[in-house]
A and B are shown apart, each in its own frame.
Chain A
Amino acid sequence: MSIHIEKLNYVYQSGTPFSHRALTDVSLDIADGSYTAIIGHTGSGKSTLLQHLNGLLKPTAGTLTVAGNKITPETKNKELNELRRHVGFVFQFPEAQLFEETVLKDIAFAPKNFGKSDEEAEDLAAKMAELVGLPASVLQNSPFELSGGQMRRVAIAGVLAMEPQILVLDEPTAGLDPKGRLEMMEMFERLHQQQNLTIILVTHQMNDVANYADHVLVMEEGRLIADSTPQEVFSDPKWLKGHHLGLPQTTAFAAKLADKGVPFKNLPLTEEQLAAQLAELLAGKGDEQHG
């Protein structure tokens, strides 16, 4: 279920005095089963780009092909329904979308909309609740009785219950405590690994980008200014700074060490990589001393 975008342009309220250009000539490819992170300053067009992926917005110009469905400016709204079942979309603060009387019904809502029978949908919902770590005891509670973190889980389970092939996450861990954040990111990573889900993540957490993503897109003022791997993007701290972006903590630390003369082969992104490189360097040093 790959994504192919060609010369995508989007103008808000086009043709009115309030018209505002949000995306300019964005072209990109996202491979099947990849983990793509989209980063960029607030207002750089990240969310606008995301909303194209399941047809919530249609391009003003250009085309995109998502999971075999082609979307052009002329595409009819009716045709987009087919697309939406393939693309699960977790919005920022998704707990705002809960409305049913019980947690179980809320999770089962999306599969029912896409044609599953009540029974199938509720079985699926129970499974998804377990997957996101909700205790079975809350399934018959009202979603509004839960804590913020649990509501977030219910909302995410509600999206996963659609059994999407592409999962779009718009800052899924914003406002969560560190433990909740880690648990959630690990859960997405598990889904990515086990079910070969294509994940597209918008985030301001460079650590998450370094730890999980294998493909990075950098947006600035509605344009795509970089399309490569995390290794590549984070190898040039000066360029990042120029575009108001930061480094992952580990890379920042390694960059400081490099300034002091530690000869890294390439800047490490994760703690494991840093540890491995340091161990290697120390081992090398040890050999020199002995030899």
Chain B
Amino acid sequence: MDKMLLGRYINGDSLIHRMDPRGKLFLSFYFIVIVFLCNNWETYVLMTAMVMLFVKLSDISLGFFIKGVRPLIWLILFTVLLQIFFSSGGHVYWHWGPFTVTDSGMINGVFVFCRFVLIIFMSTLLTLTTTPIEISDGLESLLKPLTKIKVPVYEIALMLSIALRFVPTLMDETTKIMNAQRARGVNFGEGNLIKQIKSVIPLLIPLFVSSFNRAEDLATAMEARGYHGGEGRTKYRKQEWKRNDTIAVILFVVLTIALVVLRK
């Protein structure tokens, strides 16, 4: 579990680190949308160049991003292989039963691969350079308009920030309970399927129980400190929209125009 990179934050003070989280969040989502505009070599090269530029600006080594791709590599390869073996059209190189390998299929496979990697790089970039608290604050203000249609945005943001805050705590707790049960002779991840499922019970029940206890304590502590809900609260952390954020937005507008022009 400690090898997991997605959702980690690396402290830093780069251009990307200093960006407004609202801008970063919005542009990352927007990036994922415009990746689907790409449909030829020029557009993919352009997008890759952009991502590399951002990686460079973030002052984080490329190795981190490659590690971020690693856990998903099987999913990516599976999709790529599906593309290669099951697309039709173009010149046929090889044919057997339902499988066909064509040149357009192979090109599509490469494109799907690029698309996956670009999206993972961009979302890794977001989480590596933004603290979880900034992300939930950013989401809250991005979702603000939804309050008009009675979406409880404040509550969602609160739940999100509490959830994010407790991810590492729960991970620690999981490791601790796992170790304690191992010391009592439980072998996690060994034996047949039924045995493995059974071995999870001594882990899950204590985790649920401790989460209930934790939730109760937290609610009591919040009430004791005068929490009454979202209405009429002031904010401690202010988000500032700076010149760099505007520049980034402009860059993305230019990028979109370039993509639309280059795509076929």
A residues contacting B by CB (< 8 A) are 12-13, 16-18, 51, 54, 56, 78, 81, 84-85, 87-89, 91, 94, 96-99, 109-110, 113-114, 144, 158-159, 162
Contacts and interface: CB of A to CB of B under 8 A. Distances in A.
B63 interface: yes
Given A17-B63, A17-B64, A97 B2 contact: no
B180 A96 contact: yes
Nearest to B8: A18
B186 interface: yes
B210 interface: yes
A87 B210 CA distance: 26
Contact of B176 (A96, A99, A162): A96
Task: Sort A-B residue pairs by CB-CB distance and give the 8 closest, nearest first.
Answer: A113-B185, A89-B183, A99-B205, A110-B184, A97-B180, A91-B180, A114-B185, A99-B202
Contact of A12 (B2, B63, B187, B190): B2
B206 A158 contact: no
20 contacts: A12-B2, A13-B2, A16-B2, A16-B3, A17-B63, A54-B183, A56-B179, A56-B182, A56-B183, A81-B185, A87-B183, A91-B179, A99-B201, A99-B206, A113-B184, A113-B185, A159-B183, A159-B184, A162-B184, A162-B185
B257 interface: no
B254 interface: no
Contact of B177 (A12, A96, A109): A96
**Interface secondary structure of B, over-half rule:** helix
A11 B202 CA distance: 28
A91 B209 CA distance: 18
Contacts of B206: 96-99
A114 B187 CA distance: 11
B180 A113 contact: no
A67 to B, nearest CB: 14
B173 interface: yes
Contacts of B190: 78
Nearest to B67: A16
Nearest to B201: A99
Interface in B182-203: 182-187, 190, 201-202
Interface residues on B, range: 20 to 34
Contacts of B205: 99
B161 interface: no
Given A13-B3, A16-B3, A18-B2, A109 B202 contact: yes
Interface of B: 2-3, 61, 63-64, 67, 173, 176-177, 179-187, 190, 201-202, 205-206, 209-210
Given A91-B176, A96-B173, 13 more contacts: A16-B2, A17-B64, A56-B182, A81-B187, A94-B180, A96-B176, A96-B206, A97-B180, A97-B202, A99-B202, A109-B202, A158-B184, A162-B185
Contacts of A110: 184-185
Contacts of B177: 96-97
Contact of A84 (B2, B61, B183, B202): B183
A171 to B, nearest CB: 13
Contacts of A87: 183
Contacts of A144: 209
Contacts of B182: 56, 84
Nearest to B210: A96
Contacts of A89: 180, 183
B188 to A, nearest CB: 10
Contacts of A96: 173, 176-177, 180, 206, 210
Contacts of B64: 17
Contacts of A94: 180
A97 B2 CA distance: 21
A114 B183 CA distance: 11
Most buried by A among B181, B182, B209: B182
Given A98-B206, A144-B209, A84 B179 contact: no
Contacts of A51: 179
Contacts of B173: 96
A170 B223 CA distance: 34
B202 A91 contact: no
A159 B179 CA distance: 13
A97 B181 contact: yes
Contacts of A85: 185
A56 B173 CA distance: 15
A13 B187 CA distance: 22
Contacts of B180: 89, 91, 94, 96-97
Contacts of A91: 176, 179-180, 183
